[in-house]
């Protein structure tokens, strides 16, 4: 059984930075894609970034490109999201997700989800 556990959320002022972590367990992720999604109150869950675990190739939503960086540490089985130049519109619950397929931006493609971590950016 795959388990994903997010951490690192919190309250930060606009322009600040946070780093989210997603610790994965239950299997090896060499053939997996892992991703970050976010959901703000009253809005649908949206794609943020994804990475192919085997080669580390990242893919970003336009809204975060140049500000967020996704990475993974194979030895620790952990994925990260470094978020810089945060804006109030980045406020949301951030989720990590995984599936054994290509990078997809639709949340329905992902089989495994974490419980989420709250990120709040004040203006």
pLDDT in tens, 28-58: 777 899 999 999 999 999 999 999 988 888 9
The candidate with the shortest Cα–Cα distance to 95, out of 75, 72, 79, 77, is 79
Query: For 89-102, what is each residue's pLDDT tens digit?
Result: 999 999 999 998 88
Distance CA 116, CA 9 (A): 9
What DSSP line would sit under 48-91, residue for residue?
EEEEETTT--EEE-TTTTTTEEEEEETTTTEEEEEE-S--GGG-
The candidate with the shortest Cα–Cα distance to 91, out of 60, 59, 123, 67, is 123
Distance CA 44, CA 117 (A): 16
Structure letter (DSSP) for residue 109: G
Query: For 71-85, what is each residue's pLDDT tens digit?
Result: 999 889 999 999 999
């Amino acid at each position: 059984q795959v388990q994903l556990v997010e951490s690192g959320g919190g309250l930060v002022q606009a322009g600040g930075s946070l780093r989210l972590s997603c610790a994965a367990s239950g299997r090896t992720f060499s053939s997996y894609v892992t991703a970050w999604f976010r959901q703000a109150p009253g809005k649908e869950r949206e794609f943020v970034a994804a990475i192919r675990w085997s080669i580390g190739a990242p893919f970003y939503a336009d809204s975060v490109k140049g500000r967020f960086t996704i990475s993974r540490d194979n030895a620790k089985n952990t994925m990260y999201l470094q978020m810089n130049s945060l804006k109030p519109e980045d406020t949301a619950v951030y989720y990590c997700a995984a599936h054994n397929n290509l990078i997809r931006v639709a949340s329905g493609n992902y089989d495994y989800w974490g419980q989420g971590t709250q990120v709040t950016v004040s203006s």
